[in-house]
Structure 1
Amino acid sequence: MNNKAWIYKVFLLTFILSCLFSIISNIISNSLSSIFLFIILILIIVIGIIFDMIGVAVLTSKEKTFLSIASQKIKGGKETIGLLKNSSKISSICNDVIGDICGIISGSIGAVLAISVSNSTNINLSIISVLLTAFISSFTVGGKAICKSIATKNSDKISFLVGKVLANLKIKIK
């Protein structure tokens, strides 16, 4: 696949995922209490962190490690090889597409949560907004830093785990 086609596919995938995640988060955020909004906020940040870790792991794993596993027909071996053959694309999708979408959505939910908390507690909206923004940023950046370190040290294990998940879900990577 040429570079332009890849860019168009990434653009389209990002657009579709953003729309889906935004619709879901808007529906959820308009109907839940502040506590549940906070839990969803944490989940979205964690999803971004996990996909960032997967992207780094796939990018740093070596294909030759899995050649014997795939040749022995161990479940997930073939899928892991597929991930690693497409490591730059997989990393881009995990880190840039999903990670960035999670970051944007967490900011949106943070804004809704700040308004919700301010309205229900009479605490100044600016104070709550600053505190939530600081929390979201530090949790996201800190979590990604920790998980990137884990991903580089355990890249083969993480990549193989993702390969096994793909095998169980019967998702093939060409």
Structure 2
Amino acid sequence: MVNYLKKSILVSALLVAFFTFFIALLVNIGSQALMEVINNVIVALILLLVIIALGIFFDIIGTAATAAALPPFNARAAKKVFGASQAVKITKNAGTVANYCNDVIGDIAGTLSGAIGAGIVFNLSNMFSITNIVLIGAMMTSLIAALTVGGKAIGKYIAIENANSIILKVAIVLAWWENISGIELFKTRR
């Protein structure tokens, strides 16, 4: 049984790594293409802030999934409340949800924000004919790190304090998605 679990965890980790590679590649190519087309520092800064905000948003969801309590969702699911069965699935699969939301999406957002930050520094150095870009690069890296870490710190507090309501809202969106697309995110209950 232990060997099966080890193989299962290894296969799961390899699948996560595989999909993360391609998701990051696609999103990075898309954002770089957008940066080249836009070539505007203000728009690039807005894109940077959106990517940081998405990383924080998904970190909140992942943290809330691990902090949510299952019994209230079971009670709502028994009463057939819309989204409650999805909330049960999210809570029962909290480890997987946290892995994808906090780690996969968080790491992709971190990588993309660094790449966009580098593009902004490059554009600023060209706009203002700056030859020494080390200070600007260090300031951009520090700004990205401060916004990301500070935002996630606030987000974790919000997620822990409001875990059940956050997960219910996410579950309602997920239920809506499943009704429209017919695709279930979590097919089996554990």
TM-score by length of 2: 0.88
Whether 2:54 is the aligned partner of 1:47: answer yes
Mapping 1:149-164, distance limit 5 Å: 149-164=157-172
Shift of 1:169: 0.9
Which residue number in structure 2 is paired with residue 38 of structure 1?
Answer: 45
1:3 to 9, 15, 27: 9
Letter in 2 for 1:14: T
Shift of 1:62: 1.4
- The structure number with the bigger radius of gyration is 2
Residue deviations 1:21-56 (CA, integer Å, cap 9, x gap): 111111111111111000000000000000111000
Whether 2:151 is the aligned partner of 1:147: answer no
Which residue number in structure 2 is paired with residue 166 of structure 1?
Answer: 174
Shift of 1:3: 1.3
Identity of aligned residues (%): 36
Distance 1:98 1:22 in 2: 13
Moved more, 39-48 or 13-22: 13-22
Mapping 1:1-174, distance limit 5 Å: 2-32=8-38, 33-123=40-130, 124-170=132-178, 171-172=183-184, 173-174=186-187
5+ residue gaps, structure 1: none
Q: Which secondary structure state, in structure 2, belongs to the residue aligned with residue 169 of structure 1?
A: helix
Letter in 1 for 2:158: I
Shift of 1:9: 1.8
Shift of 1:127: 2.4
Residue deviations 1:40-82 (CA, integer Å, cap 9, x gap): 0000000000011100000111111200111111111011111
RMSD (CA atoms): 1.3
Letter in 2 for 1:79: Q
Shift of 1:86: 0.8
Shift of 1:6: 1.3
Letter in 1 for 2:82: K
Shift of 1:158: 0.6
Moved more, 123-132 or 28-37: 123-132
Distance 1:20 1:165 in 2: 24
